Chains A and B, each alone.
Chain A
């Protein structure tokens, strides 16, 4: 399953999610779909990057 992370925009508090592998640590500023603010993931008002617990067949 694709790993995502949720962010909360520091400007308008809109929550949206991003591709973890492409954007979490790439140094790319995210774009808020609501107010168009640009910010790094670590500048988000809130960040949810919990990973899926590994489920392996027996």
Chain B
């Protein structure tokens, strides 16, 4: 069974979503909904912290692109936190996720933007 958890926290104008567990085609839609409803209109940006995330497949990556599009329309930013040692890093670069959501190594760095 694939399971992922989303923990939401507000840091000033920024929403921090810690995504842990695994995301694949079975739960990508649910994760997308959870992330979407966590961002109120008055928020400036969403930071998805992938430090605790063990697996993302193409469906999950598509969620990031979709979120970037939707948030962009509302003029809200999207940034990702991926530690330098994370196995996810190469895949995210390969699929050019960083073109729509800048990738930071730490949460502090992402919040400093």
Q: Do A and B come from one complex?
A: no
